[in-house]
C-alpha cells in the first residue's frame, strides 16, 4: 500500500489569488532569466487552468494511475494574511464533501491561524470534531513561530484527540516570511508536547542537516518529503531522496509529493514510476524501510496507539 502524506486539492477555491500571483511571479522570473518563458499573464492563466479540480476527481484519477491508495489533503489557513475566497468553516465543509465523494481515499489536516486566539482554537476543535478530520496543518510563514505560546491551545486540541501536527518549514510564496519557517523553531513545542507528533513539512527536502537530527533524536518529530520534485536539489531529486533514505531516519520519513505542485511534470504516475521502477531512489534501501516511508510511518502517526509496534530503539551513536 502506498500513501501520499502531502497533497492539496488543485482548486482556486482553496488557494488565495495572492499566493498564485507569488508562485507565477517566481516561475516567470526564472523563465525570463533564461529568455524561455511565456508572458506572465499566460503563465497565470495556465496555472489557474490547472487548478480547477474542485472535487479532487482528477487527483483520484492520478492516484489510481500511480497506485496510491490514499492521501492526506492539507488545508492551510492563509486568511489572516491574504484575501481568501472561502472562510475556514466553508473550506472544512468542502473537504468533508470531497471525503464523502471519494470514500476511503483521503485524510484531511485542517489549518488554523493561531492568532485567532482561544476562541479560534475552540472553533478549530469544533470543525475537527464535526467532520472527524485527521490532523492540524500549521503554516508559520504566515508570521508566527511554531513554538509561540499562542499556538499551544491548538496543540492542546491535537493532544487531547491524538492528532498529528504538520508544520510547514522552509521557503514558500515570496510575500510571506521565511524566518518562522526554520525547522529548529519546532524544538520547544516538541519538548512541551512530548505526546504530540510533529511532522516537519518539506523537512526531507529543506535544511536536511537540521531536520534529520531532529527526527533522529526527538521521538515525536517526523519528516515529510513534500515538494521534492520541484525543489532545486544538487544532482536531482532521485539522488537527493536516495541520500535521505540512507541517513538512518527511515522510521521517521513520511512520503509526500505536495501534489499538485508537480502536475506539469507528469504528476503522480511519473513520480511513483521513477521511485518504484527507477534504479536510483530506493537503491540500497531495505524493503522494510521502503514500506515504512511509503505508508507505514504515516499510519503510525495517524494511529498513535499502534506506535509501540514499530517504535525504534534509542538513536544510534547518541552523543553525550
Ligand atoms: Zn503543501
**How far does the centroid of ligand 1 lie from the alpha carbon of residue 151, in Å?**
20
The answer to whether residues 229 and 22 touch, using CB atoms and an 8 Å cutoff, is: no
**How far does the centroid of ligand 1 lie from the alpha carbon of residue 108, in Å?**
12
**How far does the centroid of ligand 1 lie from the alpha carbon of residue 240, in Å?**
19
Summarize pLDDT for 85-139 with one digit per residue, the tens. Answer: 999 999 999 999 999 999 999 999 999 999 998 899 999 999 999 999 999 999 9
Enter the C-alpha cell of residue 189: 513545542
Quick one: fold of 2-11+54-310?
TIM Barrel (3.20.20)
Summarize pLDDT for 54-83 with one digit per residue, the tens. Answer: 999 999 999 999 999 999 999 999 999 999
**How far does the centroid of ligand 1 lie from the alpha carbon of residue 101, in Å?**
22
**How far does the centroid of ligand 1 lie from the alpha carbon of residue 256, in Å?**
9
- Per-residue pLDDT band at 232 (split at 50, 70, 90): confident
**How far does the centroid of ligand 1 lie from the alpha carbon of residue 8, in Å?**
6
Enter the C-alpha cell of residue 244: 535521505
**How far does the centroid of ligand 1 lie from the alpha carbon of residue 150, in Å?**
23
**How far does the centroid of ligand 1 lie from the alpha carbon of residue 258, in Å?**
5
**How far does the centroid of ligand 1 lie from the alpha carbon of residue 168, in Å?**
8
Strands (E), 139-212: 165-168, 198-201
Domain range list for the chain: 2-11+54-310
Q: What is the pTM of this model?
A: 0.94
User: What is the per-residue burial (b if ≥16 Cβ within 10 Å, else e) of 279-312?
Assistant: eebbeebeeebbebbbbbbbebbbeeeeeeeeee
> What is the pLDDT, as a whole number, of residue 261?
86
Summarize pLDDT for 164-202 with one digit per residue, the tens. Answer: 999 999 999 999 999 999 999 999 999 999 999 999 999
> What is the pLDDT, as a whole number, of residue 313?
47
Summarize pLDDT for 156-169 with one digit per residue, the tens. Answer: 999 999 999 999 99
Amino acid at each position: 500500500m502506498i500513501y501520499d502524506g502531502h497533497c492539496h486539492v488543485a482548486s482556486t477555491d482553496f488557494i488565495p489569488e495572492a499566493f498564485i500571483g507569488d508562485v507565477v511571479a517566481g516561475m516567470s522570473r526564472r523563465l525570463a532569466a533564461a529568455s524561455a518563458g511565456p508572458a506572465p499573464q499566460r503563465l497565470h492563466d495556465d496555472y489557474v487552468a490547472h487548478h480547477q479540480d474542485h472535487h479532487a476527481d482528477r487527483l483520484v484519477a492520478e492516484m489510481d494511475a500511480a497506485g496510491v491508495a490514499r492521501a492526506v489533503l492539507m488545508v492551510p489557513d492563509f486568511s489572516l494574511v491574504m484575501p481568501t475566497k472561502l472562510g475556514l468553516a466553508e473550506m472544512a465543509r468542502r473537504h468533508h464533501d470531497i471525503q464523502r465523494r471519494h470514500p476511503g481515499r483521503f485524510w484531511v489536516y485542517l489549518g488554523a491561524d493561531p492568532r485567532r486566539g482561544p476562541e479560534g482554537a475552540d472553533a478549530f476543535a469544533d470543525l475537527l470534531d464535526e467532520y472527524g478530520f485527521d490532523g492540524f496543518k500549521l503554516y508559520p510563514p504566515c508570521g508566527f513561530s511554531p513554538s509561540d505560546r499562542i499556538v499551544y491551545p491548538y496543540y492542546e486540541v491535537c493532544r487531547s484527540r491524538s492528532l498529528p501536527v504538520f508544520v510547514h518549514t522552509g521557503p514558500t510564496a515570496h510575500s510571506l516570511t521565511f524566518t518562522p519557517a526554520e525547522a529548529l523553531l519546532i524544538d520547544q513545542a516538541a519538548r512541551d508536547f512530548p505526546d504530540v507528533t510533529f511532522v516537519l513539512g518539506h523537512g526531507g527536502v529543506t535544511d536536511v542537516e537540521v531536520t534529520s537530527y531532529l527526527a533522529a533524536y526527538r521521538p515525536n518529530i517526523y519528516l515529510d518529503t513534500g515538494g521534492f520534485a520541484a525543489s532545486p536539489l544538487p544532482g536531482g531529486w532521485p539522488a537527493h531522496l536516495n541520500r535521505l533514505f540512507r541517513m538512518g531516519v527511515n522510521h521517521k520519513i513520511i512520503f509526500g509529493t505536495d501534489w499538485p505542485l508537480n502536475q506539469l511534470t507528469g504528476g503522480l504516475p511519473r513520480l511513483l514510476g521513477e521511485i518504484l521502477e527507477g534504479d536510483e531512489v530506493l537503491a540500497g534501501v531495505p524493503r522494510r524501510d521502503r514500506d515504512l516511508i511509503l505508508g507505514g510511518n504515516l499510519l503510525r502517526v495517524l494511529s498513535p496507539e499502534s506506535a509501540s509496534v514499530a517504535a525504534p530503539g534509542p538513536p544510534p551513536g547518541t552523543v553525550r
